[in-house]
Structure 1
Amino acid sequence: MTLLVADDRRVRTLTLDRPEALNAFNEELYDATADALLAAAQDPDVAVVLLTGSGRAFSAGTDLLEMHKIATDPDFPRGRHGFIGLIDALVDFPKPLVVAVNGLGLGIGATILGFADLGFMADGARLKCPFTSLGVAPEAASSYLFPALVGRQNAAWALLSSEWISASEAREMGLVKQVCAPEDLLTTARRHAEALAAKPISSLVAVKRTMTEPHRDAIRAARDRENAAFAELMGGPANLEALAAFAEGREPDFTRLPPGW
């Protein structure tokens, strides 16, 4: 099992549970998380979803070992939803989503905060959008959501630099609402989730819809642009060098790539 699901007081807690892989998303976890969001959206007893991770990481993003297999083996079995299906589930999720970043968050482990209605981070947690270090493009509509959330310059640094973002920097940017001591993170996130869950679900859905509906077309357009750019770059010289370097335990060397890469 890669995802733990627990219900209490109309809050459904989803816990990413691949601690040995730093909760990296493989096809199985993408499917499980998308299915869980779709089910929570339809469940009349669920008012709020709280998402967190087990162990020392929130999520290390896409499982790079599996990504390498997908990039080099056209017959590698894909999930029913996969990454794109999870993003679709996040875009369409009609109820409040609370995200508690308990540790490292890379790739989708960082960009998912663009879909969080409330975000919380442990004070030792860190975020990274490692797209340029992997030779690929942004994901999860972050090219639209991050500038809207944190401003163009903060978003440009986060998406272009592949540098770590501390919890305090994430709070200062506006990526998360509050930074907590690790032992207080889930208590704080759950307190906020339960405060929302005590309200009428119909009203929560209406408020979220009025906030998100004006942005839906722009989010979907950004997602489509990103997916096209990602598909173009995945398996290219820069991406293959990055994945090979990861598999070999070394730093990638992009200086030897063909001109333009």
Structure 2
Amino acid sequence: MSRDHRLRVEDAGGVRRLVLDRPEARNALDGTLVGALTEAIAAAGADPAVRVVVLAGTGGGFSAGADLKETARITDAAVAAAHAHRMRRLLEAPGEIDKPVIAEVHGFALGAGFALALACDVAVCAADARLGFPEMRHAVVPALVVPGIVRRAGPLVAFDLLANGRIFTAAEARIPGLVVLPSGADAAPDVARRATELAGHPTELVAEVKRMVRTSDRCDLAHALDAAEQVNVENRLRRARLTRQEE
């Protein structure tokens, strides 16, 4: 286990846990933590020993979102632009690596913290999770989280969740693909089970599935099917080579 820049890094059985460790600040995403987490996700993606990545938080919740004390001090346009770009890069990071990334959400996941969970391949929420985008309550447009929530939930649900700034349970969120655990269930064991299952599959095949999902999400159906057709051919040829080697 290592610790760096308010982030704990734990490795076990091919699973790398990246644990936000600012409990005194509700794991708020300040510039230091954003940079460290973005780099850590990229490093996990490049490390052949890592098969699955888990994002989690210490203390009372996953993350309260952007550090409001830090953002309140921003008055310069260049500083504001740099801050926005850093946050964008973090929200892009889980989708840019070929390893599966699982969010382990307990307690609160708010604003950019919730957007980060939704940027992962799987988001598992404990029954006690309280989610939301409270930016409007602080007179802030939740701009950077909009693309991700629209992709996940569609424009009508996204507007409802974003525009009023209310806090809701995972079950109330109505976000497709969000794993909501039953009352009393802890997210950690469920995430550990899912991570172990994924780590047990061939790394390249899992990576190919993630790449295909990413491609299909970002292009039209015809281009997605073109890519799928090519992967299908490559996979059959790979299996044929392996069969000949075993004979």
Interval of TM-score (by shorter of Structure 1 and Structure 2): 0.7 to 0.9
2:43 match: secondary structure:
helix
| Residues 127 and 180, structure 2, Cα contact 8 Å, conserved in 1 | no
Query: Which of 132, 155, 165 is matched with 1:162 structurally?
Result: 165
Matches within 5 A, 1:117-132: 117-132=121-136
Counterpart of 2:19 in 1: which secondary structure? strand
Which residue of 185, 188, 194 maps to 1:192? 194
1:21 is aligned, of 3, 21, 25, to: 25
Cα offset, 1:165, TM superposition: 1.6
Distance 1:2 1:129, change over 3 A: same
Q: In 2, Cα distance between the equivalents of 1:154 and 1:75?
A: 32
Structure 1 residue 103 displacement after superposition = 1.3
Following the alignment from structure 1 to structure 2, what is the Cα–Cα distance between the partners of residues 176 and 75? 34
RMSD: 2.4
Match of 1:143 among 143, 146, 154: 146
Letter in 2 for 1:166: T
Q: 1:119 Cα deviation (Å)?
A: 1.2
Aligned sequence identity (%): 32
**CA displacement at 1:111 relative to structure 2:** 1.1
Cα distance in 2, alignment partners of residues 209 and 217 from structure 1: 12
Distance in 2, Cα, partners of 1:90 & 1:139? 19
* Higher mean C-alpha displacement, 177-186 vs 190-199: 177-186
Partner AA of 1:150 in structure 2: A
Which amino acid in the other structure matches residue 161 of structure 1? Answer: N
Q: Deviations over 1:67-97 (max 9, x none)?
A: 0112369679x78x73133133234122111
Counterpart of 1:128, as a letter, is G
Number of equivalent positions: 214
Letter in 2 for 1:163: R
More RCO (CA 8 Å, sep 6+)? 1
Q: Structure 1: give runs of 5+ residues left out of the alignment.
A: 219-261
- List per-residue Cα deviations over 1:178-207 (Å, max 9, x = no partner): 325566310111100110011111111110
Larger gyration radius, structure 1 or structure 2? 2
CA change 1:105–1:75 in 2 (3 A) is closer
Alignment-mate amino acid for residue 98 of structure 1: I
TM-score between both structures, scaled by the size of structure 1: 0.74
Measure how far apart 1:173 and its partner are: 3.0
CA contact (8 A) 1:120 1:179 kept: yes
Change over 3 Å in CA distance of 1:157–1:40 after alignment to 2: same
Shift of the 210–164 alpha-carbon distance from structure 1 to 2, 3 Å rule, reads: same
Deviation at 1:174, TM superposition (A): 2.5
TM-score relative to the length of structure 2: 0.78
Report the Cα offset of residue 164 of structure 1: 0.6
Which residue matches 1:214?
Answer: 216
Task: State whether residues 10 and 45 of structure 1, in contact with CA within 8 Å, keep that contact through their aligned partners in structure 2.
Answer: yes
Instruction: Give the aligned residue type for 1:39.
Output: A
- Give, as a single letter, the amino acid of the residue that structure 2 aligns with 1:115: A
